[in-house]
Amino acid sequence: MRILIVGAGALGGYFGGRLLEAGRDVRFLVRASRAEQLARHGLSIESTRGNVTLKAPTVMAGGIDGPADLVLMAVKAYHLDGAMADVAPAVGPGTAIIPVLNGLKHIEILAGRFGAEKVLGGVANIPATLGPNGEVIHLAPQHDLTFGEIGGGISDRVRAIAALAEGANFSAHMSEDILQNLWEKWSMLTTNAGMTSLMRAAIGDIVASPDGEETIRAMLAECCAVAAAEGHAPRPAFLEGITKTLTMKGSTLTASMMRDIDRGAPTEGEHVLGDMVARAERHGIATPLVRLARCHVAAYAVRKAREAQAVSNG
């Protein structure tokens, strides 16, 4: 089975690297700068699950020579349009696409471009980041990849992908209801991203502040109300677990959205926060805290664009 990993960042680099380590036929679709970095340093994974440095086969836009059997989309939401254009030659009649982006909007976008029958749902749960030389730094033991058919059930191609992952050094899970998994992660992520970006602080810092824990719980309740209206209320055990995580005293947990803001980078604000607000509006659900976080992150983006324009104007 030919596997194309779109993006060799923390997620794509880790899961693609583990598949490559297990002897699978893997290539990485990357930009020129990342291709040069991988050629110089190799694809290095630093992890308590095992360190490894691999020679990573790469391909750049325009260099794809035929369809892939499996495409793992591991890019930021703001790179999705460009990534779809680059990957199009790899999408054939039998190609399965697993995106591991945040939120849900990308499912509709990919289905509109390539056909709904080609798109599965994917959820990556792995704390990882890139080091200064592009090494993948795995920050905690969890390294789970969950996937399934958007319409539910376990299909032959889902079983085939699970079989492909057997023996690779990560935990692969087939889901009979991937939309439930996606909504649960999105509810957790929106709360984490919204709160840590809005407060510019880690979860533990917010919890230690006046009204901090109550505000976190209130934002989570807004997200869960939207999920319930969409038919995917978080399951009790999951809700209990994420509530504990998002209200833990002393926690240094932050969202990548906050870290993107801290380094002056683009964010997935509209994809994560804006789409949650839009779905809430369709159901007539009030989400004042999510709306405030969305406004905060959007204002950051407007300011960055204004400053960039001022620089270009001299």
Phi, psi of 64 (to 5 degrees): -75, 130
Nearest one of 89, 65, 68, 74 to 18, comparing CA atoms: 74
Look at residue 159 in the predicted model and tell me its pLDDT: 98
pTM over 0.85: yes
Q: What is the mean pLDDT of the chain?
A: 96
Q: Is the CB of residue 15 less than 8 Å from the CB of residue 71?
A: no
What does each C-alpha distance from 152 to 94, 175, 203, 208, 230 come to in angstroms? 19, 8, 34, 41, 15
Whether residue 313 is predicted with pLDDT greater than 90 in this model: the reply is no
Catalogue the active-site residues: 185
- Pick one of 3.30.70.2740, 3.30.70.20, 3.40.50.720, 3.40.190.10 as the CATH number of 2-176: 3.40.50.720
What does each C-alpha distance from 300 to 76, 266, 306 come to in angstroms? 18, 9, 10
Which pLDDT band holds residue 312 (cuts at 50, 70, 90)?
confident
Whether residue 314 is predicted with pLDDT greater than 80 in this model: the reply is no
Look at residue 7 in the predicted model and tell me its pLDDT: 93
What does each C-alpha distance from 107 to 74, 118, 222, 267 come to in angstroms? 13, 10, 22, 19
Q: Is the CB of residue 170 less than 8 Å from the CB of residue 157?
A: no
Whether residue 303 is predicted with pLDDT greater than 90 in this model: the reply is yes
Look at residue 122 in the predicted model and tell me its pLDDT: 98
Domain boundaries, the chain: 2-176, 180-311
CA separation for the pair 134, 9 (Å, rounded) = 8
14-62 pLDDT, tens digit per residue, is: 999 999 999 999 999 999 999 999 999 999 999 999 999 999 999 999 9
Which pLDDT band holds residue 140 (cuts at 50, 70, 90)?
confident
State the CATH architecture for 180-311: Orthogonal Bundle (1.10)
Would you give the end-to-end CA distance of the chain in angstroms?
A: 52
HSE at residue 238, side-chain half, CA atoms within 13 A, is: 15
CA separation for the pair 172, 144 (Å, rounded) = 6
Percent of the chain with pLDDT strictly greater than 90: 96
What does each C-alpha distance from 101 to 1, 15, 31, 48, 74 come to in angstroms? 23, 14, 18, 24, 6
Look at residue 245 in the predicted model and tell me its pLDDT: 95
Whether residue 308 is predicted with pLDDT greater than 80 in this model: the reply is yes
162-220 pLDDT, tens digit per residue, is: 999 999 999 999 999 999 999 999 999 999 999 999 999 999 999 999 999 999 999 99
250-281 pLDDT, tens digit per residue, is: 999 999 999 999 999 999 999 999 999 999 99
86-97 pLDDT, tens digit per residue, is: 999 999 999 999
Average pLDDT over residues 74-78: 94
Q: Is the CB of residue 254 less than 8 Å from the CB of residue 64?
A: no
